[in-house]
Structure formats: C-alpha cells, structure tokens
Amino acid sequence: MTTKELAKDWWKGGVIYQIYPRSYQDTTGDGTGDLPGITQRLDYVASLGVDAIWISPFFRSPMKDFGYDVSDYLDIDPTFGTLADFDALIARAHELGLKVMIDLVLSHTSDQHPWFAESRASRDNDKADWYVWSDPKPDGTPPNNWLSIFGGPAWQWDARREQYYLHNFLKEQPDLNFHNPDVQQALLDVAAFWQDRGVDGFRLDTINFYTHDAQLRDNPGLPPDQRKSDTAPAVNPYNHQSHKYDKSQPENLAFLEKLRAVMDQKGTAAVGEIGDSEKAWELLEEYTSGDKRMQMSYVFDFLSGDNLSAQRIVEVFEEKARRAPDGWPCWAFSNHDVVRHATRWNLTEAAVNAYATVLMCLKGSVCIYQGEELGLPEADVPFEALQDPYGIEFWPEFKGRDGCRTPMVWEAQTNTNAGFTTGVPWLPIAPEHLQMAVSEQDRRIGSVLNHYRWAIALRHRHSALMQGEQVIRADGDILTIERRHGDDAVTLRVNLSDQETGGLGPWHFELTEV
C-alpha cells in the first residue's frame, strides 16, 4: 500500500484541489459553473492524484461577493444546483477516493439572511444581539475607526435601529456577534448539518475575524514603513492600521475548541484561512498546535507578489520555526483571491514545473487552485467585463480578483467556450488560455499538467514528503530540501533561476529517493 492509503490523518501532508464552482464546468448553458459540472469532472480531478477537493461557497446567496455573502447556510443556491446534486457529488467523489471539503463562511452573513432581517428589525427581538451593533458617537459618526477590507469604514448606519452595524467586508456582509453563545451554537449546528451530509472537511473563511473586541476600542495607526499589503492591496487604507481590536481576539480560541469537538464526532478536518499581516505565525501556532483546535491553517507567505527565491523560501521556514514551531501550515502558490503565480512571478513553463516540484516537497499540507496544474497565467479582464466589486472599487491600481477566476479551459477549440459552457461564460475566457487546455496538455509528455501529476504522485509515494522532518537550505539560487521519515528519505536540489548554477541548468532539479 502507498502512504496515501495507509495515512490515518489524510490531511496531514495531503494535497487539496480548490474548485471555484462558478468557473469549473457549466451543465445548464447559463454560463455559470455548477455542482453537476464538478461531478462531471471528478474523474479528471482524481487523475491528478489529489487527496481532496475544496469547493468555494455554493450556499444560497444574493452573490454580492459571489457566495461569500450567505443568506441560507443549509441550502444550495439555484445557480449551482440542489441538495440532491450535492449528495450526488459527495457520492461520486467518495467512489473515486476523494475527500470533499466545503468553504464555510462563519464570520458574517448576507444582509439578506433571515437572522439579519430579524436582528435589524428592533433592539429587543430574539436576534437583536446576533450581529455587532453600536450606537454612534455623540457627533453621529461611527463608534470607532475600524476599516473594511473592501474600502471605507467598517460600519454601516441602519435607520431601523438608528445604530451602526459592523461589516469587515462589504456593507452587505454584516458581521455576526460571536460574543453571543446562541450565535456560536447556530454556527456549530451548520457545521454538524454538512458533516451529516457527508463532507470530510471545511475550509474556514477568515477564521481570525470571528471575534471582535467587545469594548470596540480604536485600532492604532501604523507608520508607512510598517504597513504590509498581505491582507489587502497596497492602495487600500486598511493597511494603515494595526488590526489589534477588530479581529484575531483571544476569545476566538474557545469557539475553535467547540468547533473541533463537533468535527471530532465525524473525523472531519479543517483548514483555516488566517488573514493577518502582523501576527499570522502566532495565530497559526495558536489555532493548529495540539489536537483541540484546527488541524491546519492556510498561510499567505507564498501568495505574495515577491519573487519566490530559494533564500525567501528558507526565510519563511526559519520564521515559522521561531514563531510557530508546532503549527501545521497549508501552503499554496495561487487561489481565487490573488494573481496567478505564473504571472506574479513571471514564470516560464519550466519554472512552473520547478516550483510545482518544490511545493510537493515542502513540509505541511498543500492546496493547488484549479488551472494552476495547467500553468495558466492571469487573465486580462477589461473593466467593462469586471464582476468583482473589489476590482471595480479600486480600479485601475488594483484590478480585483476576476483575472484568476476566469473559466477552466477543457478544450482548445474557440467555438466551444473551451468546453466550459454552451452559453455565454460569466467571465470572458482568455484566448491565451486555450492553447493550455486540458485536451492539449493531457496527451503531451512533459506538459505542466502531467508534471503536476508526477509531482503529486511523488509526494504520495514517500511518507517522508507527506509527514517527515525537513532540513532546508539555500546556496544562491539552489534550494535543497531534505525530508526523512523513518527509513524513507528524499532530497531535492533545484535551481530556481534562469541561469545555469551549481551544476544544474535553468529551472532544473535533481531528486534522490531512498
């Protein structure tokens, strides 16, 4: 048996494939991907050799933020199908040996959620305290200086209650009040509902935003030399604050322990998304060390625009060793929120393959994003075709997230919309993506697609790569990764440059397996 079959904790060192359902496969001709489309393509996903799929939100939603504004946690938005379609997806995935993780958005709901409709109706109803409400300052301004990630104040005035409500994201995404135990229980019930339906795990959106400072204290300002753009783009004034009070509160740990207790009833695993530019490592340690909180957390160090040099990779692991020695990270190069890494780092096909090999040899778990396995670059979506409110708000300095969310390319023929839809796709298909379609790469030896398959198989062939110890070092542009688990050992030497060095050609690597 392989280590993949033997592993009890499948998530530990596992490879998770992220699917953005709007853009994966449309089966109805409306131009938007759906759950039956994912089911239709699961044989392809299984051919990659991944352990699990993570499906971005598909719950009922007004789609102000494309599903991250939930109006019903217990139902499927008609855009994507029905609960029966989801059950069929789960059944087929399990037949193929794939785990299914779903994206739970617990920190906030849509303003169309019945909970919020009741909460905003008066100050004394049963759900009056389910969201974060506050009176204005005497001069009528918001209660503090907190800012929204989507720009502007994080407070919206509501004429019904004559109070402000908190929204860390869009004003249509009011934040839930985790200081209320009834709110916590309702969300634990949501997790239990989907576990009972057969899901194997959760990706927890903005896991460190759940709890706010109950005293609503102002965030301190940051001098320009301390501002980072890991969580929000550089043009966003959100980066001008130290987010000491609006997120990442210590009370969050107690909720995570309650959630883990629910998860342990079914053996469910979770990866939490930590959005914090100042203390992400400390939060990784708090949220994932031991066995009472989350199994792993998604970290952003390899999702930045900085070129990922050999030295930078070593520095990240050195910082982790100092600040989060027992935390379990989930590494990613691309996702639905950032510019695709082939463009971010200006990579050739050989360079994409080299980085894929590195990713599959790192200690931790791994997420890959649909189309990454094809080496897709960022699509150039014109302003008139933009759908993302984030990009529309900050255009042209920040073009938003649509460029990494364009439809998956299955076929190279231009007259088939790349095999994605028979209708008009919700975002335009990039012409340069067509030559990189699955149909073209599947049959080509040495393609990016087939290299990803090889690298994922390599990871699963060795317990050393899944769960072993790691020694990592840089010598100029040469990165060396040594992994060992018992008698199993793997050493990777890779040249992360376009010049010959250290006896290796540009982007070449050598692998020693014991």
CATH number at residue 120: 3.90.400.10
Average pLDDT score over the chain: 95
| Overall average pLDDT of the 245-269 stretch | 97
Does position 392 have pLDDT exceeding 90, yes or no?
no
The pLDDT of residue 1: 34
Domain count of the chain?
3
Examine the domain organization and report whether 500 and 455 are in the same domain: no
- Facing residues of 475 across strands? 478
pLDDT in tens, 9-61: 999 999 999 999 999 999 999 999 999 999 999 999 999 999 999 999 999 99
In the structure, what pLDDT confidence band is assigned to residue 185 with cuts at 50, 70 and 90?
very high
Q: What is the span of the domain harbouring residue 273?
A: 3-109+181-213+246-383+408-460
3, pLDDT greater than 70 = no
Give yes or no: residues 503 and 480 share one domain. Answer: yes
Give pLDDT tens digits for 191-239: 999 999 999 999 999 999 999 999 999 999 999 988 887 777 778 899 9
Distance CA 287, CA 294 (A): 6
Q: Which pLDDT belongs to residue 514?
A: 92
- Higher pLDDT, residue 336 or 398: 336
Task: Tell whether the model's pLDDT for residue 416 goes beyond 70.
Answer: yes
Mean pLDDT across the stretch 402-423? 94
Residues 6+ apart with CB under 8 A from 415: none
Has residue 4 got a pLDDT over 50?
no
Residue 304, domain CATH: 3.20.20.80
> Active-site residue numbers?
205, 273
pLDDT band (50, 70, 90) for residue 431 = very high
**Half-sphere exposure at residue 347, Cβ-oriented, CA atoms within 13 angstroms:** 30
Calculate mean pLDDT across residues 281-302.
96
334 and 209, same domain (yes or no): yes
d(CA 73, CA 110): 10
**One domain, residues 90 and 223:** no
Query: Does position 511 have pLDDT exceeding 80, yes or no?
Result: yes
- Inform me whether the pLDDT recorded for 445 exceeds 50: yes
> DSSP secondary-structure letter at 147?
B
Domain stop point among 199, 226, 245: 245
* Residue-level pLDDT at 413: 83
pLDDT of res. 186: 98
Q: Quick one: average pLDDT of 386-402?
A: 88
Residue 252 shares a structural domain with residue 351: yes
Q: Give the 3-state secondary structure of 101-146.
A: EEEECCCECCCCCHHHHHHCCCCCCCCCCCECEECCCCCCCCCCCC
If one counts every other C-beta atom within 10 angstroms of the C-beta of residue 208, the result is 25
In a domain, 479, yes or no: yes
**Greater confidence, 2 or 376?**
376
The pLDDT of 418-425, averaged and rounded, is 97
Residue type, 162: E
Residue 396 within a domain = no
Residue 400 lies in a domain: no
Residues 134 and 281 in one domain: no
Residue 439 falls within a domain, yes or no? yes
Q: Let me know: does 362 contact 331? Beta carbons within 8 Å.
A: yes
Judge whether residue 103 has pLDDT over 80: yes
Which domain-ending residue is among 245, 267, 295?
245
What's the pLDDT score for residue 8?
A: 62
Q: For residue 478, what are the CA distances in angstroms to 51, 289, 341?
A: 30, 31, 20
Same domain, 134 and 274: no
Q: Phi and psi for 163 in degrees, rounded to 5?
A: -140, 165
Same domain assignment for residues 486 and 373? no
31 and 122 part of one domain? no
Q: Does 274 share its domain with 412?
A: yes
Percent of the chain with pLDDT over 70: 98
Asked if residue 392 is part of any domain, the answer here is: no
Burial of 486 from C-beta contacts in 10 A (0-12 / 13-18 / 19+) = exposed
In a domain, 330, yes or no: yes
pLDDT for 390: 83
In a domain, 344, yes or no: yes
In a domain, 374, yes or no: yes
Whether residues 277 and 191 share a domain: the answer is yes
CATH number at residue 476: 2.60.40
Do 232 and 103 sit in the same domain of this protein? no
